[in-house]
Amino acid sequence: MTATLTLLGTGHPGCLPDTYQTAFALVAGDTPIVIDCGGGTVQRLATARANGQPKLMYKNLTTLILTHLHPDHTAGLADFIISTWINGRKEPLKIYGPKGTQRMTELLIEAYELGIAEHWETLSPTTYPLKYVVIEYSDGLIFENDDISITAFRVSHGRMETYGLDCQMADKKLVFSADTMPVDSLMEHGKDCDILVHEAYSVEGLRTATRFSPAEYFERMHTSTVELAAIATELKPKRLILNHQMHLAPMSDAAFMKEITDHYDGEVIFGRDLDVFEV
Ligand SMILES: [Zn+2]
Ligand SMILES: [Zn+2]
């Protein structure tokens, strides 16, 4: 069985012209799992469908996992809940997320109550109710079906409760770092993985950018390119895919990559929105 990973958005809070905020679609078997939901996730799913991924149709989008509740990973949540519903999702949307996800979801539903009612109660062709369920998780197995099991592991991202995801398929393993500084749990779960999807910031960008002071913020919230090279050297993933690349100062993507490849010999891919990978 082949699983497919689509990078829906590889961005972060520093908005970029051609890069949407963080989101992924992982399809193992017939079930798409959307991971994180930055602004524009529904738009990116539409583009991925148009690019030849019919399994990402609205009615199938019933599983969403949030790694943490920062806005660049959740700003598309209301749109995701409502757009999948009015475009054909009849089953409940299962939203997995850390503590606080239930409240965030309820507040969004309340904020959009007029629009939801309009879609549902008047002349709208939507003839079925909006259904969702929130599952707040912590460390451990959070999702399992015949094709995939997903274990969440706590990472270190300042005060924000954040989880990496260890996705085990029949004979493949894919690990998402989420947003984190270097942390032991990733070194444990990242062993023997086929794909490691990891965030990074540029050491040179942080050194030269005056607006990101103190540097300690990035050092305690995120992973530098040089740190990531050391992590990958130890873990030896078959493929390392970068996402959430924080340049922090004007520089080319090639220069960003070089900070890693100068210290790491394995395969590194500079992830871009709508890239598709066979796992
Ligand atoms: Zn982020
Ligand atoms: Zn974050």
Beta strands in 83-191 (DSSP E): 93-97, 132-136, 140-144, 148-154, 163-169, 173-176
278: CA distance to ligand 2 center in Å? 26
Whether the Cβ atoms of residue 91 and residue 60 lie closer than 8 Å to each other = no
72: CA distance to ligand 2 center in Å? 7
In the prediction, which pLDDT does 126 show? 87
Six-digit token string for 67: 């790694």
Closest CA to 161 of 68, 97, 71: 68
Helix (H, G, I), strand (E, B) or coil at 65: strand
22: CA distance to ligand 1 center in Å? 7
The boundaries of the domain holding residue 252 are 4-278
In the prediction, which pLDDT does 232 show? 98
Whether the Cβ atoms of residue 158 and residue 68 lie closer than 8 Å to each other = no
- Ligand minimally distant from the alpha carbon of residue 157: 2
Give the separation between CA 95 and CA 78, rounded to whole angstroms.
12
CATH number at residue 164: 3.60.15.10
In the prediction, which pLDDT does 1 show? 65
Give the separation between CA 55 and CA 71, rounded to whole angstroms.
27
Amino acid at 141: L
Q: Tell me the C-alpha to C-alpha distance, in Å, between residue 17 and each of 11, 12, 21, 42, 62.
A: 10, 12, 11, 17, 29
In the prediction, which pLDDT does 45 show? 98
Helix (H, G, I), strand (E, B) or coil at 61: coil
* Ion ligand 2 residue ranges (Cβ < 5 Å): 70, 179
Note if the pTM is more than 0.75.
Answer: yes
Whether the Cβ atoms of residue 202 and residue 224 lie closer than 8 Å to each other = yes
> For 46, phi and psi rounded to 5 degrees?
-65, -40
The domain tally of the chain equals 1
179: CA distance to ligand 2 center in Å? 5
218: CA distance to ligand 2 center in Å? 11
85: CA distance to ligand 2 center in Å? 27
- Ligand minimally distant from the alpha carbon of residue 162: 2
37: CA distance to ligand 2 center in Å? 12
178: CA distance to ligand 1 center in Å? 8
Q: Tell me the C-alpha to C-alpha distance, in Å, between residue 196 and each of 125, 174, 181.
A: 43, 6, 15
Output DSSP code: residue 229: H
- Ligand minimally distant from the alpha carbon of residue 68: 2
215: CA distance to ligand 1 center in Å? 17
Q: How many residues does the chain have?
A: 279
In the prediction, which pLDDT does 213 show? 66
10-residue stretch averages of pLDDT, the chain, 279 residues long? 92 90 96 97 98 95 98 98 96 98 98 92 84 98 97 97 97 97 98 97 91 80 98 98 96 97 98 97
72: CA distance to ligand 1 center in Å? 5
Angle at 137 between CA 193 and CA 154, to 5 degrees: 50
In the prediction, which pLDDT does 211 show? 73
Amino acid at 222: H
Secondary structure percentages of the chain, helix, strand, coil, to 5: 30, 30, 40
pLDDT tens for 98-144 read 999 999 999 999 999 999 998 888 777 788 999 999 999 999 999 99
In the prediction, which pLDDT does 204 show? 95
